Amino acid sequence: MTSVSEVTDTGAAAIPDVAEAKNTEADVVDRAADVVDRAGNAIVELVNRAASNGEANLLAAREIAEKLADQLRAAQGRIIELEANVRYYQDRTERAEKWMYQISSEIQQRLLGGDDTDSARRMAERLQQAQSNTPATPSFLRRLATAGVRFSD
């Protein structure tokens, strides 16, 4: 038979095992909670870092976009200026061509005794060439040479 003291000893021995098992489960739960907390904090830190990097990148992109917009506006202003210059020089060229034609006609009429039909034909050709943006007619001296005018020494 078992004595009372033996049962008490066995019961006492069983109680610490249960308490120890409860402590171990609590430790496991606490450690798991610590791991989850650390992982959560690390994730929040990574999200904060990503947000900071995103804000910095956005700010840099905005600055670059503003600089590019300024450059584009400057280029557009320069294009407008160049187009105005082209129109100005085209007008001057047309005016010079008209004067050259008038001078050529005067020389043709007064010095060479040319006929008006030939001059009118050449004027029509010049206007047609000017409208089609083809190279200008031969120079004044070449036209005189083709007309048979000889220059003597």
Residues 68, 70, 75, CA angle at the centre, nearest 5°?
A: 90
Q: In the predicted model, is pLDDT for residue 86 greater than 90?
A: yes
pTM (predicted TM-score)? 0.42
Confidence of residue 15 (pLDDT cuts 50, 70, 90): low
Report yes or no on 7 lying in a domain.
no
CB 147, CB 112: distance < 8 Å: yes
Angle between the N-to-C axes of helices 4-107 and 116-131, in degrees from 0 to 180, rounded to the nearest 10: 180
Number of domains in the chain: 1
Query: Which residues fall within 8 angstroms of residue 137, CB to CB, at 6 or more apart?
Result: 122, 125, 126, 129, 143
Cβ neighbourhood burial of 114 (10 Å; 0-12, 13-18, 19+): middle
Report yes or no on 106 lying in a domain.
yes
User: 106, 117, 104: which is closest to 146 by C-alpha?
Assistant: 104
State in Å, rounded, how far the first CA of the chain is from the last one. Answer: 160
Q: What is the pLDDT of residue 29?
A: 78
Report yes or no on 138 lying in a domain.
yes
Report yes or no on 11 lying in a domain.
no
CA 126, CA 123: separation in Å to the nearest integer? 5
Query: Which residues fall within 8 angstroms of residue 109, CB to CB, at 6 or more apart?
Result: 119
Per-residue pLDDT reduced to its tens digit, 100-127: 999 988 888 888 766 555 666 676 677 6
Report yes or no on 100 lying in a domain.
yes
User: 112, 116, 113: which is closest to 144 by C-alpha?
Assistant: 112
Note down the domain range covering 59.
19-146
Report yes or no on 8 lying in a domain.
no
Report yes or no on 109 lying in a domain.
yes
Q: In the predicted model, is pLDDT for residue 3 greater than 90?
A: no
